[in-house]
Amino acid sequence: MHVLRNTYFSIMKNYLLIPAVLLFTSCNAGTTEGDKTKATEDFAASYVAEDTLADAIFEEAAKEKEKTPAPDTTCYVLTEGEGNRNVNAVRIVQIGDKITGELKYITFGEKPAAGQLAGTIKDGIITADWTFINDSKYFKVPVSFKVTKTALLQKPTAVNDEGQPYIPEDGEYSYEFQKVGCEYYPQ
């Protein structure tokens, strides 16, 4: 891809240089030959300098893209209740220490609660906010997960006297979501 882009720009440079030089020289029709040559050389030098700057910008952008780690997506599912009809699911997308994704609680006979996750991961602990809309109400709930090789453990969220959700410091990671292929993530 990088080679194709460079080849394209190299070809386009040559096609654009010819009409630009012709236009520039035609604008200098009343000047002496020495002035024309000097002006053409100055124009060509500035064109090469601009081209070098463009190449440097493309190279820097390519280096930055290489530094950015590729997203890592992992899915987890917890089924519970009679006949395993209640499905809770988490899709985590990790880029460096940043986490995004989705959390769903699908309880049989109730409207599902599904929304977006946004947070960070440090030492295998995900701290995030889960935002969703249910019955035309907006909710933002803090969540905490612990990542293992085969599962994702969630610490329960509590609600204080003012109705604000929080994560108790002494809470345990008691909900265990099993790691699954993302093709099994409920739609």
Q: What is the pLDDT of residues 101-143, one digit of tens each?
A: 999 999 888 888 999 999 999 999 999 999 999 888 899 999 9
In terms of C-beta density within 10 A (0-12 exposed, 13-18 middle, 19 or more buried), how is residue 80 classed?
A: exposed
End-to-end distance of the chain based on CA atoms, in angstroms? 34
Three-class secondary structure assignment of 78-134:
EEECHHHCEEEEEEEEEECCEEEEEEEEECCCCCCEEEEEEEEEECCEEEEEEEEEE
User: Mind listing the pLDDT tens digit for each residue in 1-60?
Assistant: 444 445 444 555 555 545 554 555 555 555 556 666 666 666 555 555 556 766 777 777
| Residue 27, SS3 per DSSP | helix
